[in-house]
Structure 1
């Protein structure tokens, strides 16, 4: 029976070796993700803190019309085009207008009474946007997205092998299994901290990883391709895949940079999408559309964006991080509501991803969601520290401290089936496993050749 089991599944030492190799690759990134994720959890609070002075202005006189505020912003940024108007939330807050200059979206803060320009900041340079790109892309664009997707894939391997190693075998009691034995000393205490925190975090961490995959470059495009081939499971994609310029996110569609549009302006059939140019009639209807947007009472932040093409409707869109509360309303220039799309009307995939993204960002069920995610991030940091200390204590001078592969040990049919399944579901993991298998085969041939020459 033992031989049958070993032929189907690798032995404990082999699983331990895989777990440590995956950990050496993943844990530095896991600690980094825990830190940046904990910061991004509080995006609404951080944004409010940064903009506090602009939300509490000593306004004298009646506020100007939204169209006048937009014109003031356009004059402050020469050569720009109107992209979006953010509906004001507090009673005495600055107007936020987003304009496009070249390929850069710029947020302009305008005093609603005097029309004075209070602040200008590129959208890509806002603090939480930088944290977002650090967390998912390492500030490296799609290259960083691919790296983080690889980390997420191998972290799933880390979870599965860790659960196998944690599984109690002939042990009585729950100490060291469901709670750590803090009375122990040395390596045993750090082992308990690592194993127990890992098992409690494993389910939530797996959900975090899966909910983050639709944003990644390879897996996200694969999901999009499958959806397009299988059927209309989602309507309009409501999340970013890889490195998407923030200007596209604000506009709700791909925006062609101004320099490129200048060269295409004379081409027949080319629409000048992505914002309204400075023209006498470019803002016709904005005041009525904003008034309608205020009456709709959508969850903040709410963006009013101009028609993407001539004759199209204005759009009033909620961009709240609690995605199930999002809505998009098409409004005519006279302020009449033409159509509305709520979250419930979206496709199956879009709703599933929306719930996952909202929970991932800590916004699905208010501050308890933020607290839960913060506890998970703290637990990941604790687990990473404990694992690092265990490894440093085990590692011999000049070595890696990874259990050596035993000759003649087979991986097992069961492990091969699991790896094939994971490789299909996680393309980057599958590619890396093939590369590792090829490298192991080449190294094995070299070792056998060296032994033959020695003999």
Structure 2
């Protein structure tokens, strides 16, 4: 006997049961992250908008030197040049991986500093993506939950119509009511949840790397390599599609001793000042806000970028405004510029997809829609749990019973396709198949006794 409904029901149940805690965590932290700009504008008002008591004006380059002197052991990672009324932000880091944000007012005087690890946005992001723990296993676990969510969307739609769960019944038991509400909410949010999960996958540990590799090997689709997760290098505020782009080299004047080979190229002899790079950038049509990354070595370049998914309050721009420009550190010459129009289809898709996922692609309406979807998703989980509790017999797990029979060919093909597209899901299916085989043999032995 060929089976489709029963195996799907069992898989749907077990998936929902085991990943529900993780899905609730992802939903709640996702809601928290949706409004991070609103929250941070209030709780960090002084850091973002206030002025230092020192009213004397100094150049931005002098401010950078002052920061280097005050924060010994730290190096400059990037400078975020913000649009009014935000204060500029300098990100510094040390060899232990610790980062701090230093805020500068309009006089380039220090206003305040923050430990980057404990800012609201970074805590929400870290919890959402890696449960504040990090590590490959946790990242894979979060990605696995996303994969199973996609499966549950498809299987839930099938089970809803196959079981007539939407049909009103004269037997209005608590189980039937909760199952119906679970099905209704699932159908309403099926497409939005699928889009949200799909646009979050590029950040994932395994599939994200596969997307990155494919885009790197197929320039027509990716143009530039995509990063699988937010990088830990100096470039983590670059637009998605240009973070791995190989930077051009500055042409060093052989008749001048530019910095003599030292590893620190900030303020090297003959190097353009930050003020000059800002001025050149604006003449090139790069308006605030944007980020500047110093050259990595004596042959490196100044990298100036605008991104739609920086994760920094006040720094995000619309996807079509994304740009990354490279300037010779000695002459200030524009050595290359990559705009949104230059991206391949993958780069363009994720330039829109990531801010859509984060809730700032089209302002407040985007946040409200994502909020509604997350709340409805949580509601669906609750009603699903309640329907199980109402059906559950005391002292038993009350999982859907296994009906002996072979999987239907259509179901088998669907599972194989999903397993190929989502390798972690495929690997977990193999584990499920092994467990099911063991249970089948165990039940068979018991039935023959």
- The TM-score range, normalised by the shorter chain, is 0.7 to 0.9
Question: Which position in structure 2 is the counterpart of 1:364?
Answer: 361
Helix, strand or coil at the partner of 1:158: helix
Work out whether 1:327 is the aligned partner of 2:327: no
Residues in 2 aligned to 1:247 and 1:65: alpha-carbon distance in whole angstroms? 23
Does the 8 Å contact 2:326/2:337 carry over to 1?
yes
Distance 1:293 1:43 in 2: 29
- Structure 2's unaligned 5+ residue stretches are 245-260, 310-317
Distance 1:153 1:124 in 2: 28
- The residue correspondences of 1:70-219 to structure 2 (distance < 5 A) are 70-91=64-85, 93-102=86-95, 103-113=97-107, 115=109, 117-139=110-132, 140-167=134-161, 176=166, 186-219=174-207
**Is residue 325–residue 334 contact of structure 2 (8 Å, CA) maintained in 1?**
yes
User: 1:67: which partner in 2?
Assistant: 61
1:249 pairs, out of 226, 236, 241, with 236
Partner of 1:307: 295
TM-score normalized by structure 2? 0.83
- Counterpart residue number, 2:278: 290
Q: In 2 relative to 1, CA 157–278 (structure 1 residues): closer, same or farther, beyond 3 Å?
A: closer
| 2:430 match | 434
| Residue in structure 2 matching 1:45, options 38, 61, 64 | 38
Give the TM-score, by structure 1 length. Answer: 0.82
Asked if the contact 1:137–1:143 (Cα under 8 Å) also holds between the matched residues in 2, the reply is: no
Residue 211 of structure 1 contacts residue 357 of structure 1 at CA under 8 Å; is this kept in 2? Answer: yes
Query: 1:160, 1:291 → 2: CA distance?
Result: 53
Alignment counterpart, residue 378 of structure 1, candidates 366, 375, 378:
375
2:17 matched to 1:17?
A: no
Q: Aligned pair 1:339/2:374, yes or no? A: no
SS of residue matched to 1:303: strand
Residue deviations 1:302-347 (CA, integer Å, cap 9, x gap): 2111123323331211133343431112234455544321111112
Give 1:259's aligned residue: none
CA–CA distance in structure 2, aligned partners of residues 317 and 243 of structure 1: 16
Residue equivalent to 2:395: 398
In the alignment, structure 1 residue 353 sits paired with structure 2 residue 340: no
- Tell me which stretches of 4 or more aligned residues in structure 1 moved more than 6 Å: 251-254
Match of 2:405 in 1: 409
Query: 2:280 is paired with a residue of what secondary structure?
Result: helix
SS at match of 1:364: coil
* CA distance in structure 1 between the aligned counterparts of 2:339 and 2:199, rounded to whole angstroms: 21
- 1:196-250 CA-partner distances (Å, limit 9, x unpaired): 01001011111112221221111112223334445552133354x2474365514
Residues 108-143 of structure 1: per-residue CA shift (max 9 Å, x gap): 12345373x433323333221121121111122322
**In structure 2, what is the Cα distance between the partners aligned to 1:323 and 1:393?**
48
Change (3 A) 1:326 1:441: same
Q: Is the 8 A contact 2:143 2:204 kept in 1?
A: yes
Q: Name the CA shift for 1:281/1:101 in 2 (closer, same or farther; >3 Å).
A: farther
Distance 1:63 1:338, change over 3 A: farther
Contact 2:230–2:236 at 8 Å: present in 1 too?
no
Q: Could you tell me how far apart the structure 1 residues matched to 2:270 and 2:208 are? A: 36
Tell me, in whole angstroms, the C-alpha distance in 1 between the residues paired with 2:287 and 2:173: 52
Q: How many residues align?
A: 417
Distance 1:238 1:320, change over 3 A: same
Determine the C-alpha separation between the residues in 2 that align with 1:435 and 1:401.
21
